[in-house]
Structure 1
Amino acid sequence: MRVLFLAVGGNRRRAVADEAARVVTEGGRATVVVAKERSWLDTPFAPGVEVVVRSGMELRSPPRSMEWLLLFRLPRKVYRTVGRGPLRAPVSLMGRLHERAARRVQRGVVLPLLRRRHKDGPGVLHGSSYDVIIVGDAASMPDAVKLTAGASADEVRPEVAYSLAHLTG
């Protein structure tokens, strides 16, 4: 059994960790999605439980990588290369102005386009690749709805529950 635990809010840390360990001991695969890894450091997970940080998935997507390359990495490299010797001061000023402009373009143009295009969240998680989705807290409910609503008619939708005890099958 492949189980996806959505624990974005982190309210039920102990219950999510225990249920994920139970899935692994019964021979299944457990993936836990959290919002911030730092808030889960004191919660021990059983060996075999995969913990995924949601913000890291969004940042590693191909569109975000291309955005960072074009808006920030390449211009920084150009400014570092050109900004040596007598051109250091003007190029440094141009670099700072470019950073401000790039951040405005990122917030005003790129991020709204990415949000509009990828309404169902990061493309790393697909609801159809799991048998069960466990919603660990209220903050995870929108993600569960997006994952199950995105399934086509020929795909089997995963069962959604609040805990393993609430499964119907």
Structure 2
Amino acid sequence: MYVARLAQAAVAGVLTPPAGRAWRLGITGKGTVDNLVLEGWPVAEAPLAAGQVRVALRAVGVNFRDVLIALGMYPEADAALGQEGAGVVVEVGPEVAGVAVGDAVMGLFPGAGPVAVTDHRRVVGMPAGLSFIQAAGVPVVFLTAYYGLADLGR
């Protein structure tokens, strides 16, 4: 006789964020995705420079580039994991146009963590009806298609 049962999964190997400071996804060594860590990221807390925005990320995209970085096969040795995401603008620096605190945006970011800082020209407003998860996967795919059509396909 078979009976359906639920059992809680083991939580060994869960990544723990650094207490009291900004963090991002990183790696301790190349060659395997088992080396993932949550590392301190002081840049995410630093005062904003002209043209920068601080975004509370709600979702990030994971691409083949991230796998290559983790495996040590990406050409840039110091490349950070995470490149695209979606979230809500929490702060804008001087000389920022077209983006305001509270705006839901998607774009390119220099890492994957709960908060990221980027140039305001690297984010755009999220289309209505798109979830943060859906929007997080759009920027790199869009730019790849645009590059193929506009630059290579001339």
Name the TM-score, length of structure 2 as normaliser: 0.21
Name the TM-score, length of structure 1 as normaliser: 0.20
Structure that is richer in strand per residue:
2
Structure ID, larger Rg:
1
